[in-house]
Each structure stands twice: as structure tokens, then as C-alpha cells.
Amino acid sequence: MQQPAPASGTSGTVSGAVHRLVDVPGGRIHLVEQGTGPLVLLIHGFPETSYSWRHQLPALAEAGFRAVAVDVRGYGRSSAPDAVDAYRMTALVADNVAVVKALGEETATVIGHDWGSSIAADSALMRPGLFTAAAFLSVPYSPWNPVRPTEGFARIGGDEEFYVSYFQEPGRAEAEIEPDVRGWLAGFYTSLSAGTMPPADQGSPFFVPAGAQMRDRFARGPLPSWLTEEDLDVYSAEFERTGLTGGLNRYRNVDRDWEDLAAWDGAVLTQPSLFIGGSLDSSTTWMADAIAAYPDTLPGLVSSHIIEGCGHWIQQERAAEVNALLVRWLHTVHG
């Protein structure tokens, strides 16, 4: 089923795009589609939706591509199963495979941001014949690691709790976020954006002292320039309707993913690839070693870019620059 989308606004739609629900093994996936040409699948991260690609859809369509942004399982208008293990990586890859097939395509380029970057990487790793090129925004590609993730995260931060560990217990983070979804999202988006990050002496919002909440260290001030009140309304309305459990369940599957993907220990991605990070993004700076290892782990890498003065929400903060890099790379990949 599909319907044309009206102009961008509080409904979270993009002018000229079409909204569609497609069947997948785990239910249905909502997607937003624009343009014709080679398929480019766009995968968002936490806590976002397909709306985070609102600037890329028209740009990629104009460049000659069929741009499709999905709501990942558990987000937006897509199905949200109850079971925590329904959000393991293998299930999300299966969703991507089913979306490509439902759209009548035999191959796709996959582009992801934040958790979407990891989902894109594992889609390309597990189904290389289907996902023939991959781009990663903010979170670098890193192969399977022999350290169990929850054990590694538990060792980060000393006396303070790393946010991934904080998210592990079902209901705990929801109890912080869901009484004031809009306020929490505003603080989280602002704290990870260039120009509005909290001062260093306030402490990192990624680490939670005993008895505290993540939001205690969020920036308090105006929204970043890339995020309008209307944009915040779009995100807030979706998460007020769905809750945050679907998104948080991605973090609660890191050990299951580690077990499921152990067979890919040492595997490299050979497809043409691209990385774009922000110089002020912790996801990029923490994983500098992963970027340095790209000659070995991404032998098909076309180019890697760090955008100076950019935070985490890269395709929204610096849309024009990201669009130019994506289009140039896509034209290289597709001739």
C-alpha cells in the first residue's frame, strides 16, 4: 500500500515522496521512497526515524537514484514485536533483505547512520550479493571483536555507568525518557550537536553517575540550528505514540549479535564503501582505531571523510556536504 506524501511538516513527510508499508517476515516495514534508478536503502539510528533522511531523499532522487528510507523495526510506523530478541541484528538484516525484494529489486546500496551504520555493515557482510555497496555515517565499520560486548561496556567509565550498560535493563531507560519524551529528545539531540554540546566540566552525557539519570548531564539551552521546533514535534509525536522500547531493544541484543555473528570473525567488507564522520562526534573519535584499520577491514573503501566542526547527527547537521559526498560516491559506484 502507498500514498503520496504532502509537503514536509509536522506529519513527518517529505515533499514528493511516497510512503509505503511492505511485508517482511517479522511484520511490516514502513518506508519513504523518492526517485527512480538504482536502489539506495537508508537506515536510521537511535533515537530517530526515516524522517532523519528528509534532506537526502530529494537530493538522491534528483541525482538519479531510487532513495528509500525505512523505519527500522520498532520505530515509527513499522511493526514493533514484544520480544526483546526480536530486535537482534539477524532479524534487522532479514528486514532489509525483505524490503529490497518487496521493492522488486535484485541489488541495493545500503547507507546507515549511528545504529543504522552497523545494520548496513552487517547487511553487506551477511548478504554481499544483495547489498553491493555500503556507506557508514558517524559510526565506523569495525569487525567482530572477541570481547563479549556487555563485559566490555561494563569496564568503561570507572565509577560511572556507560550509557549502553544503562540501557540494558528493560524498562529502566524508558522510565527516564517516556514521562517527558519531547524534553528528553531535545536534550539528547542538543547534547550531541556541534555548537550546543554541554561544557566538558559538566561531564559526558554518555556516562551516568550512581543514582543519576542520563538527562542530568544534557545540555540546557536552545535547540541546535539543524533542529527546528517542527522537526522536534515530528520525532516527539512518533516516540510518544510508540514509546522507546523498540529502539532501546537494539542495545539489549548486543550479546546476542555477538554470538550470532561469531562466524564472521575476521571478515572484511570487500564491497565499495564510504565513511563520513564528524570531528566532534564521540562515535567517530572513540573509534579512531577502527578508521585507521580501514585499509585492512574495508579493502573496497572509495573514500573516508571527517567533517570539521560537525557533531553526531551528521546528515541533518551538515546536509549539503553529506549529500554531495554521497552523490559523488554513488556515481562512482554506479558508473
Q: In angstroms, what CA-CA distances link 147 with 43, 131, 150? A: 26, 27, 9
Three-class DSSP category at 200: helix
Q: Alpha-carbon distance 57 to 49, whole Å? A: 13
Residue 138 cell numbers, joined:
558517524
- Residues near 146 by Cβ (< 8 Å), separated by ≥ 6? 265
Yes or no: say if 160 and 142 are a contact pair by the CB < 8 Å rule: no
Catalytic residue among 95, 114, 122, 281: 114
270: closest CA among 134, 69, 153?
A: 134
Active site residue 201: no
> Grid cell 566538558 — which residue?
200
158-166: long-range contacts (C-beta < 8 A, 24 or more apart)? 159/209, 159/210, 160/207, 160/208, 160/209, 160/210, 161/207, 161/208, 161/209, 161/210, 162/206, 162/207, 162/208, 163/205, 163/206, 163/207, 163/208, 163/214, 164/251, 164/254, 166/208, 166/214
Q: Alpha-carbon distance 188 to 285, whole Å? A: 18
For residue 170, the tally of other CB atoms under 10 A from its CB is 12
334 burial (CB, 10 Å; 0-12 / 13-18 / 19+) is middle
Q: Alpha-carbon distance 185 to 215, whole Å? A: 10
185: closest CA among 214, 153, 164?
A: 214
Active site residue 312: yes
Q: Which residues are catalytic?
A: 114, 312
